[in-house]
Structure 1
């Protein structure tokens, strides 16, 4: 199955201030703040939900099609994604804007001052998903991930008109989207992804019940952090999948994107949602053990061994038979 992943593509610039922001604030001068902090670390991490998910899919051998908007500064990032099996041929390059960028300073107390520059992401709505599908020779599934809101709505409508199977994954943009927009994004999807908080926010914004949501999407996957995953399907009993145990978690950034990569990879190989959720949990565990959303590497024998330990030998055999490992 050829999978296209739409959504944000960004870089994170993370710095550390060896002190406390609050020590630099003068209480009776807060109406005119002008501060500069000398930082002692800089970490540049590749990110963006679409790029993170595509990176995981590429490692699992699916050669996903990345769909998003970037700036002329994308060359190095492009080369890395390409080396890891991602097709970047459908990425739109802005002539005037930089790739989206998150900039954050963290102090010794864990306080943060951050900004997000959308940049080229604001041009994602110019991408025609039906045209992307034609040039790719067809698409088996389109994930509509967090992006410029107009782009998310256009991609969803484009999938409906072209008869493309799509998954709705509004994630971080749920807070910004109106109830009408959320209802539009979900209706007609074959899959819906949320985390536990987002599931409640989605119900609040739409005014729907859980049954109403399932009447409009085929499968609703809700990640529950260390508690695992809940898979709900229209007309079927709910399925709960336990998370893998991680002895030394390092960084939660991108864990949900890793889960989606594993889940979609299993679907792409023809496996059912429950088995897909197990592979998703295994990939998420690898992400949690690394620092950065694209700093992990998947070793198929090791991945299958972890699945066997968590879910049994039948899970390993099913996954190995589709992923190309040894049962």
Structure 2
């Protein structure tokens, strides 16, 4: 929601302990979101059929229909009998100050989901990406991946700010891939007490997004590889950009492409999202996507990816 004035004009500092204010907002926009849903949507747009795992409320029906129309398997989503789907509600004034609330709702039931029966139904996963979720659910799914031998991707993102070192160490240790942005990579080091080298000792590959500067891929015993962001990006709104990068990166890995090429594919999809308001409102044709990839990364990159989008 957008408020046409300034929150500060309605606040009396000496009376904040008795705060009771109401703002007449100018508009209301309801946008689809959620880390797992955003990533799954992107994978579906690129022709894969990801399996979405999470907990939602009975209000999920319309969202389910949207995701399924875009190639996402929602048959293993848990529907809560008592809580609504998690949501973030935010009001912004003309100075970009915000009042916001996050309602976790059904997300707290993610800890009740077992991966074993899902895998028995859909087949052994290439990867299980464990994104920001109910912390107990994240721990359960990470540990189950270790026990059952499922390769997992650690992507704790928003939970890093709230999680303690012990939680983060358990979520990261043994991951095939660790995703983060540059700030989060330093936060992981700070909270775990591990150096960058010690983190690499415990994971396969670290993929760090660098915003407008692209992405860095780091492997133990190798020099880091930095790849530039997509060219000619007209940034509008950044929400969901990291999720889009992850989706396209994983799609390219599923196609059998090397990580460096996967990062270029990820940056290309991220460009579409940053140029759009909303996390799942972007669109493109295969030819448009390949053309944009070619403009930024050359003919060889386009030739490698084109067979999977035709």
Tell me the TM-score normalised to structure 1 length. 0.93
| Structure 2 residue 58 is matched with structure 1 residue 72 | yes
- Structure 2 gaps, min length 5: none
SS of structure 1 residue aligned to 2:278 = coil
- Selected match of 1:276 from 259, 262, 277: 262
Deviations 1:109-144 (A, max 9, x none): 111000000000000000001221111122111101
Partner of 2:124: 138
SS of structure 2 residue aligned to 1:256 = helix
Q: Structure 1 residues 324, 105: closer, same or farther in 2, change over 3 A?
A: closer
Partner of 2:173: 187
Contact 1:144 1:168 in 2 (8 A): yes
Contact 2:44 2:71 in 1 (8 A): yes
Moved over 4 A (4+): none
Structure 2 distance, partners of 1:209, 1:298, is 41
Contact 2:47 2:309 in 1 (8 A): no
Partner of 1:198: 184
- Selected match of 2:272 from 286, 294, 298: 286
Deviations 1:216-253 (A, max 9, x none): 11110000000100000122221101001344211100
Contact 2:237 2:277 in 1 (8 A): yes
- Structure 1 gaps, min length 5: 1-14
- Selected match of 1:265 from 240, 248, 251: 251
Aligned residues: CA RMSD: 1.0
| Structure 2 residue 197 is matched with structure 1 residue 211 | yes
Contact 2:227 2:260 in 1 (8 A): yes
Q: Structure 1 residues 115, 246: closer, same or farther in 2, change over 3 A?
A: farther
Structure with more contact order per residue of length (Cα contacts < 8 Å, sep ≥ 6): 1
Structure 2 distance, partners of 1:189, 1:148, is 19
Partner of 2:148: 162
- Selected match of 2:37 from 51, 56, 62: 51
- The structure richer in helix per residue is 2
Structure 1 distance, partners of 2:79, 2:213, is 40
Tell me the TM-score normalised to structure 2 length. 0.98
Contact 2:46 2:309 in 1 (8 A): no
Structure 1 distance, partners of 2:108, 2:13, is 38
Comparing 204-213 with 239-248, greater Cα deviation is found at: 239-248
SS of structure 2 residue aligned to 1:153 = helix
Partner of 1:172: 158
Contact 2:233 2:271 in 1 (8 A): no
Contact 2:231 2:295 in 1 (8 A): no
Structure 1 distance, partners of 2:27, 2:95, is 16
SS of structure 2 residue aligned to 1:73 = helix
Q: What is the aligned length?
A: 310
Structure 2 distance, partners of 1:276, 1:71, is 34
Partner of 2:93: 107
SS of structure 2 residue aligned to 1:226 = helix
Partner of 1:299: 285
- Selected match of 2:106 from 104, 110, 120: 120
